[in-house]
Structure 1
């Protein structure tokens, strides 16, 4: 991207300026901009006329101007009219009309999201601008992938001077805080560290920007939900998230959201209370776990190995979501996560990847497709020499040990098969039904057992006729429990968990979410 000498002509003046590269021009200009702003007698009083002239000529020399040059020029324009975010959005979109793909137009929006976050505009005005940004993101996301000719401009790497441009855009709000924290306030520490690395990709920056816009919209929905029942508000958040993710269809955006959940709480402490943050986090858990998006599973032109971090993150956040639901006593929600994970593409992908790396026949399959069993299986493979988690290996192992000690997963995983167990509170029988269905199955009110199943199962012994009786129960008058065994692949189980109208719903599951394929057909 403009690695050679750069000549800026001024025909009307009969002169020209020569720079070693666009990189050197950007660094010198950013330094001059910051010095001029610092020396100005009042905010907005700096004279930036010469910068305007130079960068107007620079941009006119490119059919598809570099992102960094557009960012600097737009910073000059915004400095002249601070607060006019709609004009800023229009300016940035005008410069990317000829961009072949979606990455650069989306990445350019970072200053707009930052200014919306720091803005003192009314909530209604802010919400209208956020909607405009999301509409633009949706339009850009529908663009086809960049061709080979446009790859260097759209899906390339950021120049090393990118960090200096971050300072240019953050100086209005703080000269003391980390510039990346000011410009990317909703990105989270993990994403900011990635952006600070030299040579970060434009596509990753685009994913961060979309994630910030997504999170900001959820926060505004919560802020506007004063007086709305929590269950109703939670449902609205989930349905909006589930319907928006396949529209954005951005792999990096999906990965950034996963990392936000891995490093919870979400970076919204200045916008929401602790209780409201939990509400938003639960909505994102549902949107990322209960729906298996085709744009993640069917990414054309992408090395499947590049998807490994996403699938590993989905595994870990599912386990986190299950544990979180169990801590809250919501066993139905916990098992809905386990069920959705077990029938998703994640277990198959991770098993195939590990088997291919280790060699066919070299490893046995995990005892079940549950998140606990699969994570333990991968950790065991890591201990045997297979590199699975990279630099996060120690952290993952420590997390698994903590979960096993706290929740007893080690004992729970010794039972083979991906079976789901439920307590039938309506029955007085003490049997385990191994059939796939019964006449009164639909009429039975069920809830998942979680820890209750293990406690009860350990107190029962197998009789030759298939009847299991309690062994050493302390309370003979306690209500009898019927255990009904289902296979994960049973359609009845899928319908039971994923239906919004079942009696087990706690208001936490996504209610009848459309798949992204169905959404496309409905459009």
Structure 2
């Protein structure tokens, strides 16, 4: 392909020479959109023949070429999402990186969002997508999920139109193809040179959020407290298995730039429930794929993750206090204080400034650290950049800013947490805590245990018999099957008798999950 591509389309009347794959994709996209606009059922034979030859010239075909070819196939059978999922996964069998196979799934997730199929069928397909994501994250190449997987071609924006043409309705093509991320993530995708790794993180975040919304939709009338506990266990375990920094960062960014982009799927009350689940899953756990972070890491995305996590911690504290949930608010404060985030932010600031004469926050609390970082920005240190005005506004409107200066000691932490060595241990609550804080601890015990157990499986998809323990009490959790990308039962041992014992998966979709994708 480096020498160019000579294309002979009889319908065009002459042969065309394209100096690169990028120029071929631009011209093909233009001709495809013109053909679709001119006739509801255009003849795409020449396109299929051309891109079949193009794909066969690569041992590991470029993402953009695979997307165009699969769009041609999908145009003929727009309801057969299962076949498209198989097709896209087949083209990545020889890929050594994890980001590209995940990024390729973007059209499938988009079509599932726009689909009018019955909810149970959509649930089954979303589970299949998450199963595939889990397998990619757990295979030996999973360690490369955050490695540089290259950048998207400059013609990527035009290619988005090919997949969004059926649902565009005069809307932005990126909004159609990426319906479950915020505007900031879409702007990043529109930039020339956007990384394939970032696209992969967006796709995983959208599939994760879509499944979370479907779970809420599938349990109308369920007790909110019980539903929230089950969703937290599922969310924490999924994040632990995916081990994807970009995905984690996209989720954080959704919360920083509220409201969540789920208004077409959930009611306002359900959006509040999902936001609470995400607060707990993103704040109350010290994930191993983040805990070993070093300040001198070349990728600056890690600072953005910790900075965003700091901001949403303050939002979560304020949200809990508005609801009168003081025990939950203290859990967020204590988690921050006992995490590696304060030391990381301090070392990062010293490294950026080139001096350790920066002063210190007045306390190891989220509010104090955010104020310290904003003060450093005022002194010329580039911290939050273009987002600084929004961060400053949060500080100005912090209704409880003085309360954050309260003394917090490590020994008073009222929740379970995963430490930097991926061990987990409990820290006893004090007898004077109210009942709400005790209930919070009990729920946290369950999902921390779930995350720890799922993390042990992350290096490979194991058979059910390998997951047994001496404890006879088990809880049904996520269903994944490595052999054929469908789903199978995994069991997590209950911990200290605190497991909820309830199924995390929706019961009505269990049978479907046993099918082969």
Fold shared by both chains (TM-score > 0.5): yes
Task: Tell me how far apart the structure 2 counterparts of residues 70 and 106 of structure 1 sit (CA, whole Å).
Answer: 13
Which residue number corresponds to residue 482 of structure 2? none
Which aligned pairs between 1:483-522 and structure 2 lie closer than 5 A? Answer: 494-496=427-429, 504-505=437-438, 510-512=444-446, 513-514=448-449, 516=451, 518-521=453-456
Which residue number corresponds to residue 314 of structure 1? 309
Which residue number corresponds to residue 184 of structure 2? 190
Q: Is the 8 A contact 1:111 1:169 kept in 2?
A: yes
Structure 2 counterpart of 1:379, from 337, 360, 374:
374
Structure 2 counterpart of 1:343, from 331, 338, 354:
338
1:213/1:395 CA distance change after superposition, 3 Å:
same
Q: Is the 8 A contact 2:99 2:197 kept in 1?
A: yes
Q: Which has the higher contact order (CA 8 A, sep 6+)?
A: 2
Task: Deviation per CA, 1:63-92: give whole Å up to 9, x if none.
Answer: 000000000000000001111000000000
1:504 is paired with a residue whose SS is helix
Task: Deviation per CA, 1:383-403: give whole Å up to 9, x if none.
Answer: 222221112222212221221
1:159 aligns with 2:146: no
Q: Is the 8 A contact 1:100 1:146 kept in 2?
A: no
Task: Deviation per CA, 1:450-489: give whole Å up to 9, x if none.
Answer: xxxxxxxxxxxxxxxxxxxxxxxxxxxxxxxxxxxxxxxx
Q: Is the 8 A contact 2:255 2:312 kept in 1?
A: yes
1:77 aligns with 2:61: no
1:293 aligns with 2:277: no
Q: Is the 8 A contact 1:166 1:180 kept in 2?
A: yes
Where structure 2 has 5 or more consecutive residues not aligned to the other structure, the ranges are 415-423, 458-466, 468-517
Structure 2 counterpart of 1:68, from 64, 68, 72:
64
Which residue number corresponds to residue 5 of structure 1? 4
Task: Deviation per CA, 1:24-64: give whole Å up to 9, x if none.
Answer: 11011111111111111x3xx11111101110110011000
* C-alpha RMSD over aligned residues: 3.0
Task: Deviation per CA, 1:188-247: give whole Å up to 9, x if none.
Answer: 211111111111100000000000000000001001111311111111111100100011
Where structure 1 has 5 or more consecutive residues not aligned to the other structure, the ranges are 421-435, 438-445, 447-490
Which aligned pairs between 1:105-254 and structure 2 lie closer than 5 A? Answer: 105-145=101-141, 155-254=149-248
1:99 is paired with a residue whose SS is coil
Aligned length: 440
What is the TM-score when the length of structure 2 is the normalising length? 0.79
Task: Tell me how far apart the structure 1 counterparts of residues 434 and 227 of structure 2 sit (CA, whole Å).
Answer: 18
1:330 aligns with 2:320: no
1:4/1:309 CA distance change after superposition, 3 Å:
farther
Task: Tell me how far apart the structure 1 counterparts of residues 3 and 63 of structure 2 sit (CA, whole Å).
Answer: 17
Which residue number corresponds to residue 408 of structure 2? 418
1:305/1:166 CA distance change after superposition, 3 Å:
closer
Higher Cα Rg, which structure:
1
Task: Deviation per CA, 1:92-130: give whole Å up to 9, x if none.
Answer: 000000000111100000000011011111111110001
Task: Tell me how far apart the structure 1 counterparts of residues 434 and 324 of structure 2 sit (CA, whole Å).
Answer: 20
Q: Is the 8 A contact 2:366 2:404 kept in 1?
A: no
Which aligned pairs between 1:8-47 and structure 2 lie closer than 5 A? Answer: 18-40=17-39, 42=40, 45-47=41-43
1:510 is paired with a residue whose SS is helix
1:3/1:336 CA distance change after superposition, 3 Å:
farther
CA shift at 1:501, angstroms?
12
CA shift at 1:413, angstroms?
5.6
1:18 is paired with a residue whose SS is strand
Which residue number corresponds to residue 267 of structure 2? 273
CA shift at 1:16, angstroms?
7.6
Structure 2 counterpart of 1:257, from 251, 256, 260:
251
* Between 178-187 and 509-518, the greater mean CA deviation after superposition: 509-518
